[in-house]
Chain A
Amino acid sequence: MMQPVRKVVVVGRDGPAWMAALSLQRALGRAGLEVSVVELPSLLRGADVYAALPSLRSLHDLLGLDEAAVLTAARGVPMVAQRYSEWTPGAAFLQGYDSVEAPGAFLSFVQLWAKARIKGLPVPFEEFSYGAMAARLGRVPSESDDPEALGATYGYHLDANAYSLLLRTLSERRGIKVRSTPIADVEISEDRILAIELADGQRIEADLFVDASGAEAVLISRLPQSAFEAWDAFLPCDRLLAASAPRLSPLPAFSQVTAFDAGWAGMFPLQERTAVVAAYRSTEIGDDELLHKLKADVGMPVEGDAVVSTIAPGVRKSPWIGNCVAVADAAAFLEPLDSLQLHMAHVCVTQLINFFPVDSDTRIEATDYNAAVRLHASNLRDFQQSHYKLNRRTGQRLWDEARSAEVSDGLAQKLRVFQARSEAVLYDEETFEAGSWASMFIGHGLTPEGYDPRADLIEEQDHIERIQARLREIAGSIPALPTIEAFLTATQIPVKAPAPAS
């Protein structure tokens, strides 16, 4: 007789572990599910930042976390866009989060732009993006109720330690039992975890174990069928540096991701400091040399708290084996680009609830979860790899190799069709909609040679008018949006006075 799943133990640390525990309790607690956490020592460095996509806000809504509480506790600021610079020498672009166009529209705006560009329009695509232009002016946009109107949304930059603590506190307040004793042993029989033994002798059994331990994957990597698929052929960096720099004033509405010869370095504004992250390849530069380079060449005034670690992008062949479900970095590891750090956790937890087992024979659920998580992660990998693939930094080994690196069939097809018709093909399990792919491709210089032929149905005068109307609408409405500081103040967060110039 198959037993229903009544008891889940989350083994893990930091944002993803608490996110998993809170979400599972929220979705299934009233249905009788008991959720507890075995907490492992944090892997976060003091300077770490979570850059989060706008979708994190919908998770917060589900969990009953309000925006003011999150931003106050996590010293966070709205993230309206990302600015990629030097991926083509001398060039930069902003990628925002524009509202998805009304489904009724038979041509997306990118078609109008692509045609106008071919006819000689000199205005960059980003100037037609509501989110990108709001970010440029340091404003926080909102989505319009009118599906025809322009709008954009925003994510967050959050202090990773403070955010994790917020979720941990909330977990305890909601009655989730937390044990912080080290794990002594994991008892395994075939493909199932029977129990976890803690250092104090406690033996913890569960119907389902969630591995939220990060890249270490403390549970799932012990199971016999466990295997990891490395993505180093697609994403070249193997080292990650985290550090802090002084607060920027006024606070930018975007993160800044700058390519340099050995990788990229990003600046992520927070309320009281700026988080600095650099991903690079150890064959190109040493850790000490990197610190020097960040200060001297990239212009990032890194403080003394810099910490370096190893990263290995890739995905588990089976993120769910037996009664063990890996989430977040334990399931798939991506670069901290594109504000995805908490996103894989969000995707995994959503899929786990979607495929939550109806009894202890979980083979079907595991198969579906594995397929969905792997597909989702590989679509994200394709998005990240596109930054590298489209670079124009010639004469630098890492970047020359990245331009000629292999891509998945799906990405190859996306690139070809985009070049021919200015439209991004979308597959199942995509995080980013067509507009995000388009602005990323165009931003990196993939200029379409053709467009949807139906764009020619629009009379030239009407076409020009539509282009101008969009620029007018953006220019007219963005100055009325709140600045980052005004937004924080309105959210009742005291804003620190700008640091005196030193």
Chain B
Amino acid sequence: MNDPVEVVILGGGTAGWMAAAALSALLPRSRCNVRLVESEEIGIVGVGEATLPHMKNFNDAVGIDEAEMIRATKATFKLGIEFRDWGFLGSSYVHPFGIHGASETSLGFHHKWLRAAQTGHESNLEDFSFAIVASRQNRFDFPAATGKPGIASTYSYAYHFDASLYAAFLRKFVEARGVTRIEGMVRAVNKTPGGDIASLTLESGEVVSGNFFIDCSGFRSIILGEALGAEWEDWSNWLPCDRAWAVPSANVGELTPYTRSTALDAGWQWRIPLQHRTGNGHVFSTGFTTEEQARETLLANLDGQALAEPRLLRFQAGRRLGSWHRNCLALGLASGFLEPLESTSIYLVQIALMHLLPLFPGRQTEPALRDEFNRRMEVEYERIRDFLILHYHLTNRDDSELWRYCRAMDVPESLTFKIERFRRRGYIERYREGLFTPPSWLSVLVGQGLKPEHYHPTMDNVPAEEVARELEELRTDILDRVEEMPKHEAVMARYTRDGFASDPFAFGLNA
């Protein structure tokens, strides 16, 4: 078991280079020897320009310097996602990377919020989230260091970045750590007599053999899908969008510390602010509009001048059952696709790698490890799937065919369950595994327009007036603290200035 495993990664997009980075930095040299096959002829899909806070943990773990990464990938900071026109036309809410209230409680902040409303004064839930209030004012600062808990430590942050620059940055980082990159297109995937993957034959005739293959070949899923025939589970009846047009535009207006997602007639549009441009895209369903129509819609909805011709991406929501099959494990688009509505694409690559590390096999695949990995990834995919469907299904919009379809469609039972429970008693399930903690569910459930009919009975122990007073103090406290924060733009200027120190803490402490 201690002979190093010869790992072959197929594909050099974000997924491939993240895999190479994780295996080379986080596993001992004695366990694996990593090579990566990619072709410069194949472009990177790179829809994942917006990330989740987990990204920072990944970078920290593999040893990437944050400031260097921010400069290299033209990154900006992100405190959440604004959803416009999702619950109903004219609506706007933010899903923040943080909690509502001053500290996390097992019951959830919203029970207090509902109890306080019994005084007759309804308040806006968003006023009690530090990250949302900061977002609305286009401010950013690093969360207060642990050890001084308080309202300014109730959030975390992520990045917007240029995914192709990130892949290139990782490539440089990883090649410096001894990972071999092999240039070439795959002509054939060769199997052993027993049916495992033995090697890849490249167009040049070179044969790259290995013990363990990581398929990062994108939608084609060359090893897992094409060679091993892993079954595809289709989720497009719940998530009908199957195309996206993407186009960069010039930056205009104040730099926002959040991604924006605007619901449109036949899909939605993303807006991702980077240092040098704004990434835009229109995710749509060909069941409800045409490619040409969608392209025009995107161009008509840009807030700055388009900087290139729009590029079309084709996809289908779903996943391959068992992303670890025999001696092949697929990552990213090769294992499944969920639209970038909640910036989960890179997270799914990252979490797959984090699950793989402790289970990393020897030269022979151990079924217990494979089954455990697949169990964990099934949970990850399904949790995210339900969370995405929630945005489409729980809406009051009935102004176009897509929204009428989504409102009426049958959704997975696991999601119906969650909606019913929140509606009746404000209950949000807390699970051990998988993305999206109760604060995330809360912001989207309420943001999409659902208000619980009851709060938890124990809230009646405290007089409503008392709770309302507490909330009023919290609102003022948040406002005061947010107004002391610098503007996002001002924080970014520190990174783009030449020769600036690379230690974020040098200016993280309210410079």
A368 touches B421 (CB 8 A): yes
8 Å CB contact of A28 from B421, B453, B461: B461
Q: Mark A16-41, 1 if CB is under 8 A from B, else 0.
A: 00000000000110111100000000
B454 touches A359 (CB 8 A): yes
A5 and B457 in contact, given A417-B369, A450-B1, A457-B28 (Cβ under 8 angstroms): yes
Q: Is B233's beta carbon under 8 Å from chain A?
A: no
A323 to B432 alpha-carbon distance, docked (Å): 30
A456 to B359 alpha-carbon distance, docked (Å): 14
B420 touches A453 (CB 8 A): no
B458 touches A356 (CB 8 A): yes
A356 to B366 alpha-carbon distance, docked (Å): 45
Q: Hey, which chain A residues are within 8 Å of B372, CB to CB?
A: 413, 416-417, 425
A463 to B396 alpha-carbon distance, docked (Å): 59
Q: Mark B429-462, 1 if CB is under 8 A from A, else 0.
A: 0011100000000000000000001111111110
Q: Is B509's beta carbon under 8 Å from chain A?
A: no
Q: Is A233's beta carbon under 8 Å from chain B?
A: no
Q: Is B392's beta carbon under 8 Å from chain A?
A: no
Task: Classify chain B's interface size.
Answer: 35 or more
Q: Mark A431-460, 1 if CB is under 8 A from B, else 0.
A: 000000000000000000010111011000
Q: Hey, which chain B residues are within 8 Å of A417, CB to CB?
A: 359, 368-369, 372
Q: Is B357's beta carbon under 8 Å from chain A?
A: yes
Nearest CB of chain B from residue A117's CB, rounded to whole Å? 15
Q: Is B371's beta carbon under 8 Å from chain A?
A: yes
Q: Mark B257-290, 1 if CB is under 8 A from A, else 0.
A: 0000000000000000000000000000000000
8 Å CB contact of B425 from A358, A420, A423: A358
A454 and B368 in contact, given A28-B458, A368-B421 (Cβ under 8 angstroms): no
| Interface positions of B from 34 to 62, Cβ below 8 Å from A | none
Q: Is B27's beta carbon under 8 Å from chain A?
A: yes
Q: Is B360's beta carbon under 8 Å from chain A?
A: yes
Per DSSP, chain B at the interface is: helix
| Interface positions of A from 447 to 478, Cβ below 8 Å from B | 450, 452-454, 456-457
Q: Hey, which chain B residues are within 8 Å of A456, CB to CB?
A: 28, 30-31
Q: Is B427's beta carbon under 8 Å from chain A?
A: yes
A30 to B457 alpha-carbon distance, docked (Å): 10
8 Å CB contact of B357 from A27, A32, A453: A453
- Complex: chain A residue closest to B430, CB-CB: A428
Q: Is A62's beta carbon under 8 Å from chain B?
A: no
- Complex: chain B residue closest to A423, CB-CB: B358
Per DSSP, chain A at the interface is: loop
Nearest CB of chain B from residue A20's CB, rounded to whole Å? 16
A364 touches B458 (CB 8 A): no
Number of A-B contacts defined by CB within 8 Å: 85
- Complex: chain A residue closest to B421, CB-CB: A364
Q: Mark B401-426, 1 if CB is under 8 A from A, else 0.
A: 00000000000000000001100110
B461 touches A453 (CB 8 A): no
A368 to B417 alpha-carbon distance, docked (Å): 10
A420 and B454 in contact, given A364-B421, A457-B28 (Cβ under 8 angstroms): no
Q: Is A419's beta carbon under 8 Å from chain B?
A: yes
- Complex: chain A residue closest to B367, CB-CB: A416
8 Å CB contact of B460 from A32, A364, A423, A427: A32
A359 to B454 alpha-carbon distance, docked (Å): 9
Q: Hey, which chain A residues are within 8 Å of B421, CB to CB?
A: 364, 368
Nearest CB of chain A from residue B306's CB, rounded to whole Å? 45
Q: Hey, which chain A residues are within 8 Å of B311, CB to CB?
A: none
A358 touches B432 (CB 8 A): no
A416 touches B357 (CB 8 A): no
B431 touches A428 (CB 8 A): yes
Q: Is A407's beta carbon under 8 Å from chain B?
A: no
A453 and B358 in contact, given A413-B375, A416-B368, A417-B369 (Cβ under 8 angstroms): yes
Q: Is B72's beta carbon under 8 Å from chain A?
A: no
Q: Hey, which chain B residues are within 8 Å of A355, CB to CB?
A: 427
Q: Is B26's beta carbon under 8 Å from chain A?
A: yes
Q: Mark A403-434, 1 if CB is under 8 A from B, else 0.
A: 00000000001001101110101111010000
Q: Is A43's beta carbon under 8 Å from chain B?
A: no
Q: Hey, which chain B residues are within 8 Å of A454, CB to CB?
A: 26-28, 357-358
Q: Mark A245-280, 1 if CB is under 8 A from B, else 0.
A: 000000000000000000000000000000000000
A245 to B46 alpha-carbon distance, docked (Å): 72
A453 touches B27 (CB 8 A): yes
A421 touches B458 (CB 8 A): no
| Interface positions of B from 301 to 322, Cβ below 8 Å from A | none
Q: Is A91's beta carbon under 8 Å from chain B?
A: no
Nearest CB of chain A from residue B428's CB, rounded to whole Å? 12
Q: Hey, which chain B residues are within 8 Å of A420, CB to CB?
A: 366, 368-369
Known contacts A28-B460, A421-B359, A457-B26; 10 additional CB pairs below 8 A are: A30-B460, A32-B460, A358-B456, A416-B368, A416-B371, A417-B359, A420-B366, A420-B368, A426-B432, A450-B1
- What 9 A-B pairs have minimum CB-CB distances, sorted nearest first? A31-B460, A416-B368, A358-B454, A456-B28, A30-B461, A452-B358, A453-B31, A31-B461, A453-B360
